[in-house]
Amino acid sequence: MRQKSKWLLPFLLLLVVALVGCNTDKKSTNATTPGKEDGPKTEEVSLTIGSWRTEDVAKYEKVIALFNEQHPDIHISFNPTKNTEYNTVLNTALQAGEGPDIFHLRPYAAGLKLAEAGYVEKINDLSGLRAYPEEALMASRDEQGNQYGVPINLSSTQFFYNKKIFKDNNLEVPTTWDEFIALNDQLLEKGITPIAMGTKEGWLLSLLHGIVGPAIYEGNDFYQAVLTGEKDFSDAQFIESIQVMNDLKKYFPANSEGLGMDDIRTLFALEDAAMFPLGSWEIPVVLEMNPDLDLGYFPIPSKEGHKTVTTWVDGSFAINANSKNKEAAKEFLAFLTTKEFGELFVREFSMISAIPGITSDDALLNDISNSTANEATPYMWVTNFTGGDPTTKSLLESELQGMYLDQVTPEEVAKKVQENAKAWFTPFQQ
């Protein structure tokens, strides 16, 4: 027994020393590791973003990475839904008290309906909004002056054209409406499809009218008169703009009634059509399909030579009123108002930033951006006529489709559009 005790005591002393050393090591590790017991504590938050931009997942990963350089404790997932399903999926989730913390808000009336229903958080105190022009903020601001969204990008519609086709055939960019029609006739005579356009999808037709209509009714003058009720869609100039839409059909591809967005984009990208009347968001898409495409654009000229590009705010980011992490969501929205985000957005998305003063290394995008600043006319079907049931915009689309099938006349299209708008648009009821 004495022999055992003799060896047991030193062993116990060694064990105590080892335990003390281990405990000392643990305390040392905690002291040098952020977020541990003895370091600065940060509460980690997870946010989700809903959007219709399924094609932008990789781009938004770069946006989130830039945000996380300053906010590493806020984890964000970008979870978009297919464009044609987005409204239904979002509305269903919001009505159930769920949905993403942050979501892409449709512009103008469509988005403000969600705000009126109480699904969108007010962001009146977001300081970064002061930098935006009123025209951009109005896309997500109600009549009482409450702001619900941060404008992300300006969209514009204009005629894109294939510079090589123009050069090879000694064709010039038109400076008047008559020159534009003559250009189409010249292309047709040479066996070249002038305009890549199809009538299968109605939204393409309201978009096309948004481009060519202002050339016929002199853009902003008519638009302002409509807003006050001084003029409406029974006006002779508006009826003429519908007639012009009908006249342009002969410049569309064969069987245009069966062609949708993917078809006409492919026609233009593969250089089987000379011109493509569509939005600025198509620039990176067609160039990805054909990097060698020599792409140009021109604002549509009126009879008197006034040039216009049709513009609007194409979506804002808003906060779900039921989000459990509103403060973190506001941090992200504040980031969306910064120059750093604007520069990244223009560079990665090849779109026009809604933040004033942001320029691009892309000469084409910069030229279009300058046009939106100096030659803009509002896309009134989106900015002012998404009310009604059906909406005036959707009615115009279906009636134009009927016109292209020879089922209704331009006069009948204008009459039905006016009747629909008068039922809900207050200036027409005075």
pLDDT tier, 20 (very low <50, low <70, confident <90, very high otherwise): very low
pLDDT of residue 40: 53
pLDDT tier, 83 (very low <50, low <70, confident <90, very high otherwise): confident
pLDDT tier, 13 (very low <50, low <70, confident <90, very high otherwise): very low
Q: For the whole prediction, is pTM greater than 0.75?
A: yes
**What number is the average pLDDT over the span 226-245?**
97
* SS3 annotation, the chain: CHHHHHHHHHHHHHHHHHHHHHHHHHHHHHHHCCCCCCCCCCCCEEEEEEECCHHHHHHHHHHHHHHHCCCCCEEEEEEECCHHHHHHHHHHHHHCCCCCCEEEECCCHHHHHHHHCCCECCCCCCHHHHHCCHHHHHHHECCCCCECCEECEEEEEEEEEEHHHHHHCCCCCCCCHHHHHHHHHHHHHCCCEEECCCCCCHHHHHHHHHHHHHHHHCHHHHHHHHHHCCCCCCCHHHHHHHHHHHHHHHHCCCCHHHCCHHHHHHHHHCCCEEEEEEEHHHHHHHHHHCCCCCEEEECEECCCCCEEEEEEECCEEEEECCCCCHHHHHHHHHHCCCHHHHHHHHHHHCCEECCCCCCCCCHHHHHHHHHHHHCEEECHHHHCCCCCCCCHHHHHHHHHHHHHCCCCCHHHHHHHHHHHHHCCCHHHHC
Contact (Cβ atoms closer than 8 angstroms) between residue 248 and residue 195: yes
Tens-digit pLDDT profile for residues 387-402? 999 999 999 999 999 9
- The topology under which CATH files domain 155-311+376-429 is D-Maltodextrin-Binding Protein; domain 2 (3.40.190)
- The residue extents of the domains of the chain are 45-152+314-337, 155-311+376-429
pLDDT of residue 16: 38
What are the two backbone dihedrals, phi and then psi, of residue 360, each rounded to the nearest 5 degrees?
Answer: -130, 155
CA distance 151 to 108: 11
Is the per-residue pLDDT at 204 higher than 60?
A: yes
Tens-digit pLDDT profile for residues 98-149? 999 999 999 999 899 999 999 999 999 998 999 999 989 999 999 999 999 9
Is the per-residue pLDDT at 15 higher than 80?
A: no
CA-based torsion, 131, 133, 137, 139: positive or negative: negative
pLDDT of residue 84: 82
pLDDT of residue 42: 59
Do the domains spanning 45-152+314-337 and 155-311+376-429 agree at the CATH topology level? yes
CATH code for the structural domain at 45-152+314-337: 3.40.190.10
